[in-house]
Amino acid sequence: MSKKRWIAAAAIMSMVLTVPIGCQGTSAGSENPSAGSKDSSQEDLVVPKNQESTVPAQTAKGGNIAEQVQAPDAFELQFSDESGKIEVEVKARVVVPEAEGFRLKTVTSRIFTQEDYDAVNRVLLQGGKLWDRVVDENDPAHGFTKSEIEERIKILKEEKESGESYVDQYGDGKDYDKKIAEFEAMLEAAPETARIKEIEPKVRFDSKAEENGDPDNNMLMGYVTMDGKDYFTVLDNNISPAWRWISFSSEYSENGGNYMPVGLEGSNAAQLKTSPADIEQKASSAVEEMGLTDFQPCGGEYFASYTEEKGRMVPVDYSYGVHFTRVIDGIPVTYTNNDGTTRVNM
């Protein structure tokens, strides 16, 4: 192998073993790919510790890893774009593990279990019951009450009188009169109070749900009320041989606005009611209480919730999100940043 290839291999090894790696997360919910009970309908996320991997361990031939690699102490690289305006200089310490070889483990996604839901509900949602509004298929009011619709009409009329243009949350221009008329039509059929039904919080998984034309059979969805606030909670075991989009979230959307990421800038900390350090501590305590002992924090970012005001989307609240990733034998398990992907990196 040429010297250039040895350097490339050593550089890759250095990045995998020494560079902090980020991971995906949700702004105001819980993603919980923890190890649960095993059955024929479930896939293990990783080979459990102290058990044999499905892939045999591979030991290096002709000496240990360091002796085979003969890597330099440092990796240096310089390159620039064609215009010469951008120049990149890389200097990295090369770290080669003192080991006879690498032990390989297969990592794959798995479904959420009843234990997963119960743990999140107990720790994050105070054991609240799952419920939803009763909405008839042809209900003109779409499940909203008279007071809710009247409040929306009032806001739209005030904004129209202010002369502001009506722009929805996607930035598209709308017609005030048309939107007000739509709500007024809904008002005629709206009830005084909403009809509520309790939902059995039972986690299901049918491997042939999509094939049988009922993919929603693997979804558990509703609201959980905590401290006077309604949290929209969704557990979705959307997994098939060609598609893996497994998610579990619980979100509170005040004024109809979700929390969206706004970056890593420390200036956003001034908008928080609680410091990032305290939030990180609370998040770590919650993860530990849920039994996710093999998860570790891997960074955080700021979020903001927006509402529509005088035809514009303005921030009304700020928060700080903490991301966690699973760690196997001290190595972070990371995933490709594509929803539904079947590819996994470790």
Q: What is the pLDDT of residues 306-318, one digit of tens each?
A: 876 666 778 888 8
pLDDT in tens, 217-239: 899 999 999 998 999 999 999 88
Q: Are 123 and 108 in contact (CB under 8 A)?
A: no
Q: Are 324 and 48 in contact (CB under 8 A)?
A: no
Q: Are 97 and 80 in contact (CB under 8 A)?
A: no
Least confident of 9-13, 131-135, 173-177: 9-13
Give the mean pLDDT of 112-138: 94
Give the mean pLDDT of 158-167: 73
Give the mean pLDDT of 175-190: 88
Could you please report the per-residue DSSP string of 21-48? ------SSS----------TT---SSPP
pLDDT the model gives residue 224: 96
> What is the chain's alpha carbon radius of gyration, rounded to the nearest angstrom?
26
pLDDT the model gives residue 166: 63
pLDDT in tens, 195-206: 999 999 999 998
DSSP state, residue 340:
B
Tell which wins on pLDDT, 163 or 126: 126
What 3 state SS string does 89-147 have? EEEEECCCCCCCEECCCCCCCCCCCHHHHHHHHHHHCCCCCEEEECCCCCCCCCCCCHH
Is pLDDT at 127 greater than 80 in this prediction?
A: yes
Confidence of residue 90 (pLDDT cuts 50, 70, 90): very high
Q: Which of 323, 295, 291, 274 is nearest to 122 (CA)?
A: 291
Q: How far apart are CA 289 and CA 125, in angstroms?
A: 13
DSSP state, residue 291:
T
Could you please report the per-residue DSSP string of 37-88? ---TT---SSPPTTS--SS--EEPSSS-HHHHH---SEEEEEEE-TTSS-EE
Give the mean pLDDT of 55-68: 62
Range 269-275 contact pairs with CB under 8 angstroms and sequence separation of 24 or more: 269/302, 269/320, 271/302, 271/304, 271/318, 272/302, 272/318, 272/319, 272/320, 274/320
pLDDT the model gives residue 71: 86
DSSP state, residue 175:
-
Mean of all residue pLDDT scores within the chain: 76
First to last CA, the chain: 25
**Cα dihedral: 16, 243, 27, 295 (round 10):** -50
Domain spans of the chain, in order of start: 3-20+48-102, 23-45+110-129+215-346, 135-194
pLDDT the model gives residue 44: 40
Q: How far apart are CA 263 and CA 118, in angstroms?
A: 32
pLDDT the model gives residue 64: 81
- Selection from 19-23, 32-36, 237-241 with the highest mean pLDDT: 237-241
Give the mean pLDDT of 285-294: 93
pLDDT the model gives residue 108: 73
DSSP state, residue 192:
S
pTM beyond 0.95: the answer is: no
